[in-house]
Amino acid sequence: MASLASRLWQRVRPAPAGAIAFRCNLCGAKAHATLAGLSRETPSCPRCGSTVRFRSIAQLVVRELLGRDEALPDLAPRRDLIGLGLSDAECYARPLARVFDYRNTFFHAEPRVDITATDRSLHGKHDFVIASDVFEHVAPPVSRAFDNALALLKPGGTFVMTVPFSLEPDTAEHYPDLHDWSLDRRGDDWTVVNRTADGRDQRFERPVFHGGPGTTLEMRLFSRDALLRAFERAGFASVRIADEPCILFGIHWPEPWSVPMVARKAS
């Protein structure tokens, strides 16, 4: 574990003009960046390429479980704390697995977890669950995903979540009647083809994909207020907007949208 003097040095060591010094809490690398350069999706660690979003997920897990900010490389293993990730990025999944009894899962590959239809044997087993930029891709109704995230947690467990969201009053649901659907490609153009539960045919042009066409279809753009209502409806005891900075680890949120949320199950 880093000494107090080392941690203080990380806070005050000289940096280029206009820049701040930080330490990546995932791999331990020292880095510099301007506050303007610390954006949600731009890689800013020179070693592991982590972004503000990736570092914030690990920082929030550690803070919620251990009550303090610590870099993952400095932590002794805590195999008594059990976690589950939904398609987490390797740059934070690997160091989380070294410290905690944590398992990363996927929708289309093993180990597989479908957050809309979770295995009941997993319910109530986890101290923390992570879903980073996943719920915007869940087929409607997305309420199933919130219900199952709660079910996966132990009493008092923590759900760390990120999704792109707006400050509009309500979520923009792109395909509210999605039922029997497929993707149709003609050249570079994609179409969502759907037959509703009551037999109506629908076609949606110019769908939005994350990670490349044909992979992860954007089902909705959440709104912040609708997210808060979704957590409440699912039965989480508390939820907060986790937009506090942690400059020590290069975490800074200049905008009020698409920041992390942390929800807790009742003890």
pLDDT in tens, 123-159: 999 999 999 999 999 999 999 999 999 999 999 999 9
User: Whole-angstrom distance between the N-terminal and C-terminal Cα of the chain?
Assistant: 31
* Structure token pair of residue 68: 């303090």
pLDDT of residue 5: 35
Amino acid at 39: S
Residue-wise pLDDT for 28-80, tens only, equals: 999 999 999 999 999 999 999 999 999 999 999 999 999 999 999 999 999 99
Order of all β-strands in the sheet with 201-205:
180-186, 189-195, 201-205
pLDDT of residue 214: 64
Identify the helix (H) or strand (E) that includes residue 4.
Answer: helix 4-12
* pLDDT for residue 212 is more than 80: no
* pLDDT for residue 22 is more than 50: yes
pTM here is: 0.91
Instruction: Tell me which residue has tokens 């009493």.
Output: 155
* Structure token pair of residue 74: 């400095």
Nearest to 38 by CA among 25, 26, 50: 50
pLDDT of residue 11: 39
Q: Which of 12-26, 113-127, 175-189 has the lowest mean pLDDT?
A: 12-26
Other CB atoms within a 10 A radius of the CB of residue 219 amount to 22
Nearest to 224 by CA among 264, 256, 263: 256
What gap in Å lies between CA 64 and CA 126, rounded to an integer? 13
Please report, for residues 3, 34, 173, 246, the alpha-carbon distance to residue 15 in angstroms, rounded to integers and kept in the order given: 21, 10, 45, 17
* pLDDT for residue 13 is more than 90: no
Domain ranges of the chain: 4-168+218-264, 175-216
Cβ proximity of 140 and 219 under 8 Å: yes
Query: For the residues 155-164, what does the mean pLDDT come to?
Result: 98
**Mean pLDDT (the chain, rounded):** 93
Q: Which CATH code for domain 4-168+218-264?
A: 3.40.50.150
Query: For the residues 1-13, what does the mean pLDDT come to?
Result: 39
